[in-house]
Amino acid sequence: MSQGAARVRWTLAAALSLGGGAIWSMHFIGMIGYRVDGLDLRYDLPLTAVSLVLAVVVSALGLTLVARRPRSTGWLALSGVISGLGIAAMHYTGMAAMHVGGTVTYRPGIVVLSILIAVAAALAALWIAFRVRTGRHVVAASLVMAAAVCGMHYTAMAATQVQAGPGDSEAVGTDPISLAPIVCVIAFSVLAVVIFTALGGVTESGSFSMVRDGGSRHRRPGGAGRATVDGAAGGPAGRIVDGGGGGGGGGGGAAGQSPLPAAFVNPRGDQYRPAPPVPVWSRPSTGESTTRSG
């Protein structure tokens, strides 16, 4: 699989994880908990699906833009603004999908505040993906990002005003409680696929396979084969070791080794040190290709 194809697949996986598995699922689970005294709430399924697609598309767009120049603060800011506006559009599209037996209005000042929070959340997410390198900082920054997304959602909900009027008809649509299992299945399925892909990878034919990097920049000077984890080749636990033999072509390695996807191999070639998770989509295309085991 070429670097370009790998970049596209990892961008899509990240967009599904961020936009669908994290942002949208949090938004809609929060919507399920929304209640208005004396009024019945229902949801328009097609419009709800549009809000999910919006979340994924703007996440992919933000990642793609910042990947063009991952070290550029200007590109990072542009991507954050576009993604934040898209997240806000996702939220208010989801709100438009909410049918109530009354009239829905919004407080303009709080709406603007919610959009600013959405932009800040998008900037935090993109900064995590392209700038943070240590596990401790990733966890801390992820908590900040989660708090920002939740803050945006509940700020936007605070901007919502629902008034019941005489003669208002009963809301039509799908009961939000019946949608809860669907949302949970979508969220956990997306995250499971992304995690599985991160650990193993997907072949071009669509079947799942462990991905290893055949590029020379990930090899040790002696022509090492591939990176393995956790002492599969006798190295210390929790460290990336070189399990390949001296042969070329990316083969070699003892049976039972667990090759890492290229995105998690230390680009400096020092395979005895923990490799920071450098996103594969942020790397320039070099024309190199990866090989598949099996």
Contact 138, 65 (CB under 8 A): no
Same domain, 11 and 152: yes
Contact 243, 271 (CB under 8 A): no
Same domain, 150 and 7: yes
Greatest mean pLDDT among 145-159, 183-197, 254-268 lies in 145-159
Beta bridge partners of 162: 104
Provide the 10 A C-beta neighbour count for residue 174: 15
What b/e readout covers 8-21, taking b as 16+ CB neighbours within 10 angstroms?
A: ebbbbbbbbbbbbb
Greatest mean pLDDT among 76-80, 166-170, 253-257 lies in 76-80
Same domain, 194 and 210: no
Greatest mean pLDDT among 31-45, 53-67, 220-234 lies in 53-67
Once rounded to an integer, what is the mean pLDDT over residues 168-196? 66
pLDDT band at 166 (very low <50, low <70, confident <90, very high): low
Same domain, 13 and 56: yes
Same domain, 126 and 219: no
Same domain, 98 and 184: yes
Greatest mean pLDDT among 11-20, 125-134, 180-189 lies in 11-20
The answer on pLDDT for 28 being more than 60 is: yes
Instruction: Say how far apart CA 132 and CA 166 lie, in whole Å.
Output: 55
Residue range(s) defining the domain that contains residue 287: 205-294
Same domain, 39 and 111: yes
Lowest mean pLDDT, pick from 120-129, 233-242, 282-291: 233-242
**Please, is 134 exposed, middle or buried when counting C-beta atoms within 10 Å of its C-beta (0-12, 13-18, 19+)?**
exposed
Contact 90, 23 (CB under 8 A): yes
Task: Pick 64 or 253 by higher pLDDT.
Answer: 64
pLDDT of 252 reads 41
The answer on pLDDT for 157 being more than 60 is: yes
Same domain, 150 and 278: no
Q: What is the pLDDT of residues 203-217, one digit of tens each?
A: 444 433 333 333 334
Lowest mean pLDDT, pick from 6-20, 186-200, 252-266: 252-266
Instruction: Say how far apart CA 72 and CA 282 lie, in whole Å.
Output: 12
Identify the domain boundary among 199, 220, 249. Answer: 199
Same domain, 183 and 233: no
Same domain, 44 and 168: yes
Work out how many domains the chain is built from and give that number.
Answer: 2
Identify the domain boundary among 154, 181, 199. Answer: 199
Same domain, 54 and 177: yes
CA distances from 133 to 127, 138, 226, 259, 278 (A): 10, 7, 22, 21, 8
Residue with tokens 């070290």: 71
The answer on pLDDT for 282 being more than 60 is: no
pTM for the structure as a whole: 0.61
pLDDT band at 110 (very low <50, low <70, confident <90, very high): very high
Same domain, 134 and 229: no
Beta bridge partners of 182: none
Once rounded to an integer, what is the mean pLDDT over residues 48-55? 88
Q: Check residue 21 and report its DSSP letter.
A: I
List, as own/partner pairs, every contact residues 51-55 make where C-beta atoms lie below 8 angstroms and the sequence separation is at least 24, other chains included.
51/24, 51/27, 51/90, 51/91, 51/93, 51/94, 51/97, 52/20, 52/24, 52/90, 52/186, 54/86, 54/89, 54/90, 54/93, 55/19, 55/20, 55/23, 55/24, 55/27, 55/86, 55/87, 55/90
The answer on pLDDT for 85 being more than 70 is: yes
Identify the domain boundary among 199, 217, 238. Answer: 199
Contact 92, 156 (CB under 8 A): yes
